[in-house]
Structure 1
Amino acid sequence: MKFAIALFSAPHAPSSRRALLFAQAALAGGHQIVRLFFYQDGVYNASSSVVTPQDEQDVAQQWRTFVSEQQLDGVVCIAAALRRGVLDETEAKRYQRSAINVDAPWQLSGLGQLHDAVQDADRLICFGGP
């Protein structure tokens, strides 16, 4: 089965960890992940500026490692990212900001990427949200 996964919650939220565990289990079960799409507060999972307390799991780092090692398509909604100060090099230059906190394996892109993923997947699985 091919999954598209959308994550709407920040790394400290339980649903972010659940999404990661689901994604890991899906691949371990022989399924495919068409795309991971981080939206709303989910964009914080791609930020290298997130600092996790020592007594908690660093879910943002776990996502980064997972996406890199599995060579997955990790897309971060550009509108949600900009609103929250989550910037890659291109957007930092465009908006004349000095902070860059998103780099590989993440890609900033539009909501259309989620739509495309849904068209290619058998199922859309969403975690977190309003």
Structure 2
Amino acid sequence: MSLTYTLVVNGSVYGSQSARSAYQFANALIEKGHTLVSVFFYQDGVTNGTCLSAPANDEFDLTKAWQQLSQQHDVRLETCVAAALRRGIVSQEEATQHGLAQCNLAEGFHQAGLGSLAEAMLVQDRVVQF
């Protein structure tokens, strides 16, 4: 039986295993035939959505990996807008709204409110938090 999933990632892009574990879980569930609808990045997890991280050549580029997963499997990548703004992860729309000179939300990521997460909890078969 195929299930639909949303993942909630609370861990930063680097500095904890949480986000990498979520990414590995995402690939495993897709491989098993399930559908990953969205990944909601919350708290420090919003740092997964910055276009300004530049890991060393011999390190895994997790932001790029999330982008590729999203493109290949039509997975929506959402950063909590309030958590992102507090941590300096800003979309073009938010930069304009708040009078900021720049934005740094990586391509393929979208800013969303907690309502999006609440809806996923009601609609998806499973919501798994990392």
Give the alignment's TM-score, normalised by structure 1.
Answer: 0.91
Aligned equivalent of 2:108: 105
Listed as ranges, the matches of 1:110-125 within 5 Å are: 110-125=113-128
Letter in 2 for 1:67: S
Residue of structure 2 in register with 1:35 after alignment: 38
Identity over aligned pairs, percent: 31
- Residue among 7, 10, 27 paired with 2:9: 7
Compute the displacement of 1:54 (Å): 3.0
In structure 1, the residue matched to 2:60 is: 57
Runs (4 or more) in structure 1 with deviation over 4 Å come to none
How far the C-alpha of 1:103 sits from its partner, in A, is: 4.4
For the 8 Å contact 1:4–1:33, the answer to whether it is kept is yes
Q: 1:17 aligns with which of 16, 20, 32?
A: 20
**Counterparts of 2:54 and 2:80, CA distance in 1:** 21
Unaligned runs of 5+ residues in structure 2 are none
RMSD after superposition: 1.2
Higher mean C-alpha displacement, 1-10 vs 59-68:
59-68
Residue 68 of structure 1 deviates from its aligned partner by 2.0
